[in-house]
């Protein structure tokens, strides 16, 4: 693949980063501040989208910033896999910004300037991860993302939020410093490079035992992917304002974790190596535990956002599962699920936030009959849930179907069972919410007259993302092409 030297990848990363300055300076004038946010969001998406045709045509962009370690520069590179992720993230950021405005203003939150500034840094780091050309650059942006989301998690500043912030950092920083950093160094020591190379760089460089250890370190170390046992931060982080949960813990942060693992699996290890050493199978079994267990736990959660969090944990492992299958369909499904799940899950979180804004309710058991008051929100929730469960005609079906095919192709009937069982569980924890919202009688003795749909700024984004989930089933071409380019150039 031919890479063209270009400033655009850097521009995509720098734009939101630089936007923090005017955002912070215009803290006294919320309208101006939010305009900056939206402007940065739109601009970034435009930049990312402008690079899309070249990538689809088989090209790419590259930019070296500084050679910090011999053989490992800080380098940005736009390839198909990165473009895939960046497209999803930058597109959804626009809606999240709009949603944030509605949400934060409706709740009259404090410290909104810090909130929007941190948010901008976080999206910059996310795009940075997507466009990283090597493991060191990826690690750099990964850490920046961890740090920039910390103020968002701790936003409430009460004891619970601080405790969650601590937990968040303990998990995320602890694993990245404790596991990824040594693993990365060992890879560097073995190969002398950290470049993402199609087909991997580790083949024949180390004993199977070392390689297995490395894979374990990476999969556990990128704890943002929420693979058990390092998943505990995600439910804890739900104390953050809902747009944060929606975007960061539905899309950006967690997907960065998955994306990092996929990068390592595809471009550091290489599918062939995994297949030869049977590491892929081990990986799939390992994450299967997370899939089933997280879905089971989700059933027991009464707090809506926590249920969504556990659902996310389970879904994230789908993507790793797909990569671990190392069959064409499986890998396609895994990568595709990043996008499909992103659109679905962000809709669900938006809905949860909208319900909270409208009624200040957090617990599912209190939400009986709410759907009749807020039909649009609940309809969107229904669509999002269907997509996550994997029902046609929604985007989620495509990825799950590919995963199933992949499992069958690789003759892993256990995985087929896992996928089907998990989908059933998904249905089991999502449908009751919708059912209770529409059909359960409102609890007696509760004044509900004031409750109606959330403000337009909240309602609009969630409707759009829900519709996108639907559209993705019919028009997945762009994403499919990118996946094809990424996996089989």
Partner 1 sequence: MTTSNLHIYILAAPLLGAFAVNLLGRLSRRWVAPLTLGVLGYATVAALVVLARVLRDGTISYTVGNWRPPFGIELVIDPLGALMLLLISAVALTATFSSLTSIERELPGREHLFFTMYLLLIAGLTGLALTGDAFNLYVLLEITSITTYGLIAMGRGRAPLASFNYIIMGSIGACFYLLGVGYLYLLTGTLNMADIARILQGLQETAALATAFAFILVGLWVKMAFFPLHSWLPTAYTQAPSGASVMIAPLMTKVTVFLMIRVIFSIFTPTYAFFHHPGVQAGIVWAAALAIVCASALALAQRDLKRMLTYIIVAEVGYMVGGVWLANTQGMTGAILHIVNDALMTLCLFLAAAAIIYRTGSLGFDSLQGLYRRMPITMAAFTVGAFSMIGIPPTAGFFSKWYLLLGGIEASQWGYVAALVFSSLVNAVLFFRIIEIAYFRTGEAGHGHGHAVVRVEEAPLMMLAPLVLAALALIAVGFGSGPLVNGVIRLAIPGGF
* List of residues contacting partner 1 (CB under 8 A): 65-70, 73-74, 108-110, 136, 139-140, 143-144, 147, 150-151, 154, 156-158, 161-162, 165-166, 169-170, 173-174, 177-178, 181-182, 185-186, 188-189
CB burial of residue 224 (10 Å; 0-12, 13-18, 19+): buried
Nearest approach in angstroms of CB 128 to partner 1 is: 11
Q: Are 379 and 412 in contact (CB under 8 A)?
A: no
Select 50 or 157, whichever has its Cβ closest to partner 1. Answer: 157
Among 436, 425, 416, CA closest to 370: 436
Select 75 or 96, whichever has its Cβ closest to partner 1. Answer: 75
d(CA 144, CA 312): 22
Nearest approach in angstroms of CB 178 to partner 1 is: 5
**Secondary structure of residue 323 in the 3-state scheme:** helix
Structure tokens at 439: 């059909």
Select 4 or 177, whichever has its Cβ closest to partner 1. Answer: 177
H or E segment and range at residue 174: helix 159-175
Nearest approach in angstroms of CB 10 to partner 1 is: 14
Select 80 or 187, whichever has its Cβ closest to partner 1. Answer: 187
Nearest approach in angstroms of CB 374 to partner 1 is: 25
d(CA 394, CA 87): 19
Nearest approach in angstroms of CB 155 to partner 1 is: 9
Q: Are 400 and 419 in contact (CB under 8 A)?
A: yes
d(CA 130, CA 9): 10
**Tokens 């035992």 belong to residue:** 209
- Paired strand residues for 59: 2
DSSP 327: S
Residue 392, CA atoms < 13 Å, CB-side half-sphere? 3
Select 74 or 101, whichever has its Cβ closest to partner 1. Answer: 74
d(CA 354, CA 228): 30
Measured CA angle at 287 (ends 123, 413), to 5 deg: 130
Q: Are 330 and 410 in contact (CB under 8 A)?
A: yes
Select 164 or 245, whichever has its Cβ closest to partner 1. Answer: 164
Q: Are 346 and 306 in contact (CB under 8 A)?
A: no
d(CA 329, CA 333): 6
Select 190 or 460, whichever has its Cβ closest to partner 1. Answer: 190
Nearest approach in angstroms of CB 68 to partner 1 is: 5
Nearest approach in angstroms of CB 439 to partner 1 is: 36
Select 69 or 417, whichever has its Cβ closest to partner 1. Answer: 69
Select 16 or 395, whichever has its Cβ closest to partner 1. Answer: 16
Nearest approach in angstroms of CB 450 to partner 1 is: 20
Select 170 or 481, whichever has its Cβ closest to partner 1. Answer: 170
C-alpha torsion sign, points 369, 469, 91, 78: positive
Structure tokens at 199: 């087909």
Nearest approach in angstroms of CB 207 to partner 1 is: 14
Nearest approach in angstroms of CB 67 to partner 1 is: 4
Q: Are 362 and 356 in contact (CB under 8 A)?
A: yes
Nearest approach in angstroms of CB 174 to partner 1 is: 6
Neighbours of 54 (CB within 10 A): 18
Select 82 or 165, whichever has its Cβ closest to partner 1. Answer: 165
Among 344, 336, 307, CA closest to 319: 336
């Amino acid at each position: 693949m031919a890479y063209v030297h270009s400033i655009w990848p850097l521009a995509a990363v720098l734009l939101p980063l630089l936007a923090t300055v005017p955002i912070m300076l215009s803290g006294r004038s919320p309208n101006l501040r939010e305009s900056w946010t939206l402007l940065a969001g739109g601009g970034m998406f435009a930049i990312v989208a402008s690079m899309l045709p070249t990538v689809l045509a088989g090209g790419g962009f590259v930019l070296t910033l500084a050679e910090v370690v011999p053989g490992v520069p800080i380098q940005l590179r736009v390839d198909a896999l990165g473009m895939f992720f960046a497209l999803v993230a930058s597109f959804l950021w626009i809606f999240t910004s709009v949603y944030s405005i509605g949400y934060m203003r409706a709740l009259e939150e404090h410290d909104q300037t810090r909130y929007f500034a941190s948010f901008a840094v976080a999206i910059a780091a996310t795009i940075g991860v997507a466009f990283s050309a090597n493991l060191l650059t990826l690690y750099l942006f990964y850490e920046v993302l961890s740090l920039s989301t910390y103020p968002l998690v701790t936003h409430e500043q009460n004891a619970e939020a601080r405790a969650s912030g601590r937990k968040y950092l303990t998990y995320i920083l602890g694993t990245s410093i404790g596991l990824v950093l040594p693993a990365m160094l060992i890879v560097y020591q073995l190969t002398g490079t950290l470049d993402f190379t199609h087909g991997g760089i580790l083949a024949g460089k180390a004993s199977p035992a070392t390689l297995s250890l490395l894979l374990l370190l990476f999969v556990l170390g990128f704890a943002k992917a929420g693979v058990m046992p390092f998943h505990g931060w995600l439910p804890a982080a739900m104390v953050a304002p809902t747009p944060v949960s929606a975007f960061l813990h539905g899309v950006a942060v967690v997907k960065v974790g998955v994306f990092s693992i996929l990068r390592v699996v595809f471009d550091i290890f290489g599918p062939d190596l995994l297949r030869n050493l049977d590491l892929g199978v081990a990986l799939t079994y390992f994450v299967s535990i997370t899939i089933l267990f997280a879905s089971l736990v989700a059933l027991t959660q009464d707090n809506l956002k926590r249920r969504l969090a556990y659902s996310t944990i389970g879904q994230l492992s789908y993507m790793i599962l797909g990569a671990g299958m190392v069959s064409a369909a499986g890998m396609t499904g895994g990568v595709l699920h990043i996008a499909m799940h992103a659109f679905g899950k962000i809709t669900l979180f938006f809905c949860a936030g909208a319900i909270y804004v409208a009624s200040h309710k957090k617990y599912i058991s209190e939400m009986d009959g709410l759907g009749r008051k807020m039909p649009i929100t609940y309809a969107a929730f229904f669509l999002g849930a269907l997509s996550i469960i994997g029902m046609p005609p929604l985007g989620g079906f495509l990825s799950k179907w590919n995963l199933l095919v992949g499992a069958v192709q690789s003759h892993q009937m256990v995985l087929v069972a896992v996928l089907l069982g998990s989908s059933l569980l998904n249905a089991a924890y999502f449908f009751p919410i919708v059912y209770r919202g529409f059909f359960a009688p409102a609890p007696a003795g509760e004044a509900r007259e004031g409750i109606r749909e959330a403000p337009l700024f909240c309602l609009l984004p969630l409707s759009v993302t829900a519709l996108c989930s639907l559209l993705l089933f019919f028009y997945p071409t762009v994403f499919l092409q990118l996946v094809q380019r990424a996996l089989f150039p």
